[in-house]
Amino acid sequence: MSESIYKDDISQYMGKLKDSAPELNSKWMDYHNVVFEEGLISKKDKQLIALACAHMTSCPYCIRSRTKLAKASGATDEEIAETVFIAMRLQMGQPYAYSSIAFENFDKMKNKEDVTEGSFFSKNITPQIKDFHNLSGEKHEKFSAFHDLVYEDGHLSKKLKKGLMGLACAILAKCSWCIRSCVRDGIQEGVSKEEIAEAVNIAMVMAAGAGWAHAGITMETADNFGNKKS
């Protein structure tokens, strides 16, 4: 059986990355560390936001490290579980919102209208989303029940769930409508622009962090190049 590309211990190869670009790695870590300092968002909540983001980037190393850091910051298993479901909801959110493009284009094509003019990203997608709801029937009812429960106050607050954690995930999902929805609901829960800035910086770190952690694979490959292991 072939060896997994994902090693449990990548410290050797991450050390090689750091040694190969020490100044770049130092600047990266300076930014990373200041992002996770106590701020308007607590250290614990920042690590939970980062964990949700790690699920969005599908980085196993990030998921493992952020789970450990969240636990070390005082997060409970229940809070971690709710965090995972927030990430799942935002992973669903992108295809949910993008369904509007499919239904808008379907209607235009059926009516023999030009679909090459204008933008794919309409500001108002309510008609298409309502169409999707009606066409989905019972499936939409089940989805709505899941959606409502995910965002209820629980072990994590609504403010953290949608206004900050959900927003960071929406940014990583690159879903314009999800971002707008999370900002709107965050304002209703009292989220400030300063808190949004902190959440966005976490999303930025986690987007880059997936590349950084996967550099272990890159540096191992470089180390083994030309050998029988390659």
Q: What is the pLDDT along the chain (230 residues), one digit of tens a residue?
A: 356 767 777 788 888 889 999 999 999 999 999 999 999 999 999 999 999 999 999 999 999 999 999 999 999 999 999 999 999 999 999 999 999 999 999 999 999 998 887 777 788 999 999 999 999 999 999 999 999 999 999 999 999 999 999 999 999 999 999 999 999 999 999 999 999 999 999 999 999 999 988 888 888 888 888 665 44
User: What is the C-alpha separation between 17 and 4, in angstroms, rounded?
Assistant: 20
User: What is the C-alpha separation between 184 and 168, in angstroms, rounded?
Assistant: 14
Residue 132 dihedral angles phi and psi, to the nearest 5°: -60, -45
DSSP run (H or E) holding 15: helix 11-20
DSSP run (H or E) holding 61: helix 60-72
Q: How many whole angstroms from its chain centre is CA 190?
A: 22
**Structure pTM?**
0.91
**20-98+160-223 fold:** AhpD-like (1.20.1290)
How crowded is residue 48: how many other Cβ atoms within 10 Å of its Cβ? 29
